[in-house]
Amino acid sequence: MSRQKATASAPPPPELDMVARAVQRLVARNDAVEALSGGGEAAAGLGAGMAAFEAARGAPAPRIGVAQYLERVHRYAGLEPECYVVAYAYVDMAAHRRPAAAVASRNVHRLLLACLLVASKVLDDFHHNNAFFARVGGVSNAEMNRLELELLAVLDFEVMLSHRVYELYHEHLEKEARRDGGGGDMLAGASAAAAAKAGRMAAVSPSKLLERAAVNGAAQHDDWRSLGTAAAAEAANGVRRHRSSSSSRYSFDC
């Protein structure tokens, strides 16, 4: 049975719902800010380093919602649950590296698609190619290639997350789900310690938490930079990395 057929009837993982909730809240806030500014901030963000993710000038935002879009990707691509958490980490990292280009309705679908593509390549030993993701996401293959390259440039190719950073993002998403009053069954298996940590995170993104920890001397460089620069140190200290492909090279299989 193919991976696509095996996952066609499988329910979306809890991580998908958590990411959808967090991203929808981010988009709603940024859309409201842009509406109050008369679209001035949107225009300013076009040249801020993430122009490839913007809808064509004058084109309406996609009518499909974030949750429905992620469910479509899940239905056809069957990504591992961890891919959604890592993709959210990429969204957060991109937003902080390009603050003038707010994550909003006009760009969130393309940004998420690129993040999921890259996360799949980083985490999965066997993954779909760019042409497949393009069909699933509703873009051309050429545009999918551009989106991938744009995201990698924004992230400076720092696409590997240490286990600690992954857990920070996962706990943050759990906290966001609790704030929405959803995900009771989803979070039933969370440990009391993890719940306490998530509750102390307040309304701040993991990127800000990592910056704060670095200032306080509580985080090592491998917690907020590419794991590629810290793999040797982690191996020496016996730190287990989050599951990833056996190959350390990024795959540009278009």
Amino acid at 114: A
Asked whether the beta carbons of 41 and 29 are under 8 A apart, the reply is: no
Each domain of the chain, given as residue ranges in start order, spans: 14-38+46-177
Q: What is the pLDDT, as a whole number, of residue 241? A: 35
Asked whether the beta carbons of 155 and 94 are under 8 A apart, the reply is: yes
Name which of 78, 97, 100 is nearest 89 in CA terms.
97
Q: Which two tokens stand for residue 147?
A: 């989106």
HEC assignment per residue over the chain? CCHHHHHHCCCCCHHHHHHHHHHHHHHHHHHHHHHHCCCHHHHHHCCCCCHHHCCCCCCCCCCCCHHHHHHHHHHHHCCCHHHHHHHHHHHHHHHHHCCCCCCCCCCHHHHHHHHHHHHHHHHCCCCCCHHHHHHHHCCCHHHHHHHHHHHHHHCCCCCCCCHHHHHHHHHHHHHHHHHCCCCCCCCCCCCHHHHHHHHCCCCCCHHHHHHHHHHCCCCCHHHCCCHHHCHHHHHHHCCCCCCCCCCCCCCCCC
pLDDT (tens place) for every residue of the chain, 254 residues total: 445 544 555 789 999 999 999 999 999 999 898 888 776 555 554 445 667 787 655 556 778 999 999 999 999 999 999 999 999 999 999 999 988 788 989 899 999 999 999 999 999 888 899 999 999 999 999 999 999 999 999 999 999 999 999 999 999 999 988 887 754 444 434 333 333 333 332 233 555 545 544 443 333 333 333 333 333 333 334 333 333 333 345 566 66
Q: What is the pLDDT, as a whole number, of residue 17? A: 95
Taking each helix axis from N to C end, the angle separating 66-77 and 14-36, rounded to the nearest 10 degrees, works out to 140
Q: What is the pLDDT, as a whole number, of residue 238? A: 37
Q: What is the pLDDT, as a whole number, of residue 234? A: 37
How far apart, in whole angstroms, are the C-alpha atoms of residue 68 and residue 209? Answer: 29
At residue 225, what are phi and psi to the nearest 5 degrees? -120, 180
Q: How many residues does the chain have?
A: 254
| pTM above threshold 0.75 | no
Q: What is the pLDDT, as a whole number, of residue 173? A: 95
Q: What is the pLDDT, as a whole number, of residue 210? A: 53
Kindly report the CATH class assigned to 14-38+46-177.
mainly alpha
Distance of CA 158 to the CA centre of its chain: 13
Q: What is the pLDDT, as a whole number, of residue 171? A: 95
Q: What is the pLDDT, as a whole number, of residue 39? A: 60
How far apart, in whole angstroms, are the C-alpha atoms of residue 41 and residue 33? Answer: 8
